[in-house]
Structure 1
Amino acid sequence: MTTSRWSSVVAVAAHARVRDALTICIFVLALAAPTLVAMLGEPGATAALVTLCVLASASLVGLRSEIEWRGILPVSLLAFFGWAALSVIWSEYRSASATGLAHTFAYAFLGAYVALSRDLIQLVRALGDALRGVLVVSLALEVLSGVLLDTPFPWLGIEGALAVGGPIQGVAGSRNLLAFIAGLAVLTFLIELRTQSVTRLTGVLSLCLAVASVAFSRSPVTFAALLGVAAAGLVLWGVRRLSRTARRALQPVILGVALFSITVAYLARGWVLTALDATADVTYRVTLWREIAELVRQHPVEGWGWVGEWPAQIFPYSTTVDTNGAVATSALNGYLDAWVQVGLVGLSLLILALGLGFVRAWLVASETRSPVNAWPALALALIIVTGLAESYLVTESGLVLWVAACMAAARKRSWRGRLRDVTGEPDPVSR
């Protein structure tokens, strides 16, 4: 590409409306990745991913003088991805690791682009549009499969069970991923309503669509996650109405109550699982986790090497078989997945990045009045809790979302940014 043509691409990609469209496309690609792979194949989906990365790069070049970098690139985030990149050195499947890293870094870069090029209300608005499109198409496919044709669409992972009350899979290809997307939509649509960024009719209809999708997915994982997020949201709502002094005094108490609640939930897990009708799901996962634990013991500190979604044909992942006799494509636990791939060091860095991101987001949400500032905290809460039973943390939608949310929180609250304010020294990164 000649210099003049590249300059033209940069100018177009940096335009506000193009950035809006590009952000929506990024979210759609991340949320509907399983269906895009089924329709376009791996080469087609990869081409779409590369195209978006090129356009995002051009857009950042065009915005280089406008973007405020201070406090946007968390060091904890960079440390995790840096360790994942280093794992190629000791990986026993370097080609697969290199491919997996490229895929992971591409989605992480797109999440970073969204946080860098859009302010928070624009991010939420674009995500809301993407979620509406994904859920509408999902419901349309489910109606076509389960009601009009009464036949499953196995190439899309749709079982056609809408007429009998679900579970439905939509463009996500699985009920748990669709439920996660719908749960995220509930949070996002509520923020849209509170900020009046959409009409009331659009907001209410969107919220009804999201709630219906959660209900018909019949996913105990998301039901449990949303209960936790709802509790966090209620606490946040109360904290925001206190004085600054009272908030500071109450934050440690909230942390203590949260830890106590987690302990009680763990001790009463049998009753909780029965209430959520999740016993079968947990039994399935525990059986798989015990098998994966053997892999962890062989390389506990450094891991086997980053690969992202598991390649079924490569050892040791080819040896992990679930209770149905199929080779597992993930650990069904984002943290265990990270432990297998990048060891205890990588797991610690992941928890640190998520923990710092959530703490920043929570403090920003509790100290500011704008409802939109609650989105990073609640979205991260949903992602963190869901990560206990699914591996979305290390795949498409999860990567884009938690990277964007962590960076959005760092934009508002960064110790390096505050240090720069005091010393006057430039520093483009934040812990």
Structure 2
Amino acid sequence: MTQVPPPHQILAAGKNFFGSPRFAAALTLTIIGSELGALFLQQLIGWAGLLGILAVQVLFASLSILARREGIEWHGILPISLLVFVGWAALSVFWSEYQWATLGSVVYLGATTMLGIYVALNRDTIQIARAFGDVLRVALVLSFALEIFSGVLIDAPIRFLGIQGNLAEFGPIQGIFGTRNQLGVIALIAIVTFGTELRTQSVRRGVSIGSLVLAGLLLLLTRSPIAFGSFIIVLVAALALFGLRRVPAESKRFWQIGLLAATITVAAVAWAARTPIINALSASNELNKRLALWRPMRTLIPAHELEGWGWVGHWRHDVPPFQIFPNYFDRTPTSGLNAYLDVWFQLGLIGLFAFVGLVGLTFIRSWLLASRQRSFVYAWPALVLVALLTTALAESSLLVEFGWLTFVVCCVKAARELSWRKAFAATGPPRPVEE
């Protein structure tokens, strides 16, 4: 008869298992993979299956944090700006026009936030970049393979995945991400990630170069003006950061201020010349579609201007006011196609100010780290944030799933490295010497 181990041995074994670095690495990969492929999984196994995966990951992440709690530095662990934004989204349950939808969406947001925090706490920046790179490679290869199958082998769309089968005509392609713009955003983040791998030599050179070629090819095949425009901005940011890292430390502040002034100037000029820029990127059709969606949103915002209609994340077309929006678009929109306007619509001016403060602090911290630290891996969060925040002007993917997970990871990492609470604690008055 098999003897049952005593409880303390079972607890010790569980702690060793859930607290092991190998478990943390494996769980990180599954978290990133499920968030990146959320739409693909939802199409294959439904919302019930996707939520089941998310629930198991939250449980495992909780057990892993519990097992590794002694090795985690808890002081200043979470940025207050992140807590304020998520907290305001949670409070919107009380005045939401669709309370049950808001409650479910807040739980979904909280679960994704918790998983992002887990990844940031338990993995170093280089390990996180490597994990993102491995997952992105698989996702892009799968997308390209399905596009070849649909557009070349069977010459027919795969409708339940949103793949139109246009590869033989050189695009636009969608991969497993539903739209060409989403694939473009993912390909852009992949280019940043694979470039970081190549620069840090964290994977074999041939793998990095091959991955970059694949990501660049898919970016071109999306024919997404949003992704093309964002790529230009990320490229300029990378060149600026590359030059800034070579500036002597004593004059770096002067160059940072000059770069900020130049950025503001270029942004103002780009806004003034927006019409020719839009025409050059062949983005007038995309803009017209978005304007048709943004106009009714702006009409409805004043009804709940301060507090918003209530958090919902993915739009729900079975509840008002989202029922009216399909009339303004050639396909049913699942978001406001602008993260900032979407936050204003759902959480009001208070939520918008909290969100802008959150993304502003996160970007500033990440940029300062990237320009000060010797290791190039610190450039990865800063450039990924440039990609996310730029595409957020025309997509709302920043607010849900992979976009939000990636943002939370960058946010927590940057806050832990440049926390004002840590600095305050370190420069506080010395403790009295005990007699």
Pair 1:167–1:8, CA change in 2 (3 A) = farther
Q: CA deviation at 1:325?
A: 4.8
The 5 A counterparts of 1:119-134 are: 119-134=124-139
Q: What is residue 108 of structure 2 aligned with on the other side?
A: 103
Pair 1:40–1:247, CA change in 2 (3 A) = same
| Counterpart pick for 1:284 among 284, 289, 294 | 289
Q: What is residue 261 of structure 1 aligned with on the other side?
A: 266
| Counterpart pick for 1:299 among 301, 304, 315 | 304
Q: What is residue 334 of structure 2 aligned with on the other side?
A: 329
| Counterpart pick for 1:47 among 52, 61, 65 | 52
Q: What is residue 356 of structure 1 aligned with on the other side?
A: 361
Q: 1-side partners of 2:430 and 2:306: how far apart?
A: 37
Assess if the C-alpha contact under 8 Å between 1:14 and 1:59 holds in 2: yes
Any idea what SS the aligned residue of 2:93 has? coil
CA deviation profile, 1:262-315 (whole Å, cap 9, x unmatched): 111111111111111111001110111001111211111100111111111100
Q: CA deviation at 1:413?
A: 1.1
Counterpart amino acid of residue 337 in structure 1: D
Any idea what SS the aligned residue of 1:330 has? coil
Contiguous gaps of at least 5 residues in structure 1: 427-431
CA deviation profile, 1:344-379 (whole Å, cap 9, x unmatched): 100110110110000001111111111000011111
Any idea what SS the aligned residue of 1:321 has? helix
Return the TM-score normalized by structure 2. Answer: 0.95
Moved over 3 A (4+): 2-11, 322-327
Any idea what SS the aligned residue of 2:71 has? coil
Assess if the C-alpha contact under 8 Å between 1:299 and 1:343 holds in 2: yes
Counterpart amino acid of residue 405 in structure 2: V
Q: 2-side partners of 1:277 and 1:425: how far apart?
A: 61
| Counterpart pick for 2:61 among 53, 56, 60 | 56
Assess if the C-alpha contact under 8 Å between 1:114 and 1:123 holds in 2: yes
The 5 A counterparts of 1:18-417 are: 18-321=23-326, 323-417=328-422
Q: What is residue 17 of structure 2 aligned with on the other side?
A: 12
Assess if the C-alpha contact under 8 Å between 1:361 and 1:376 holds in 2: yes
Q: 2-side partners of 1:97 and 1:13: how far apart?
A: 32
Any idea what SS the aligned residue of 1:65 has? helix
Counterpart amino acid of residue 258 in structure 1: T
Pair 1:326–1:182, CA change in 2 (3 A) = closer
Q: 1-side partners of 2:11 and 2:154: how far apart?
A: 48
Worse-matched range after superposition: 299-308 or 314-323: 314-323
Q: 2-side partners of 1:381 and 1:190: how far apart?
A: 15
- Higher RCO, 1 or 2 (CA under 8 Å, sep at least 6)? 1
Q: 1-side partners of 2:7 and 2:53: how far apart?
A: 23
Q: CA deviation at 1:324?
A: 4.0
Q: 2-side partners of 1:353 and 1:19: how far apart?
A: 27
Counterpart amino acid of residue 197 in structure 1: S
Q: 2-side partners of 1:53 and 1:257: how far apart?
A: 43
Any idea what SS the aligned residue of 1:302 has? coil
Assess if the C-alpha contact under 8 Å between 1:195 and 1:371 holds in 2: yes
Q: What is the CA RMSD across the aligned residues, in angstroms?
A: 1.6
Any idea what SS the aligned residue of 1:150 has? coil
Q: What is residue 429 of structure 1 aligned with on the other side?
A: none
Q: 1-side partners of 2:430 and 2:191: how far apart?
A: 41
Worse-matched range after superposition: 134-143 or 325-334: 325-334
Assess if the C-alpha contact under 8 Å between 1:70 and 1:411 holds in 2: no
Assess if the C-alpha contact under 8 Å between 1:387 and 1:393 holds in 2: yes
Return the TM-score normalized by structure 1. Answer: 0.96
Is 1:420 aligned to residue 425 of structure 2?
A: yes
Q: What is residue 3 of structure 2 aligned with on the other side?
A: none
Q: CA deviation at 1:395?
A: 1.1
Assess if the C-alpha contact under 8 Å between 2:337 and 2:396 holds in 1: yes
Pair 1:29–1:6, CA change in 2 (3 A) = farther
Q: 2-side partners of 1:56 and 1:315: how far apart?
A: 35
Quick one: percent identity of the two aligned structures?
43
Q: 1-side partners of 2:316 and 2:286: how far apart?
A: 23
Q: 1-side partners of 2:246 and 2:74: how far apart?
A: 31
Q: CA deviation at 1:8?
A: 4.6
Contiguous gaps of at least 5 residues in structure 2: 1-5
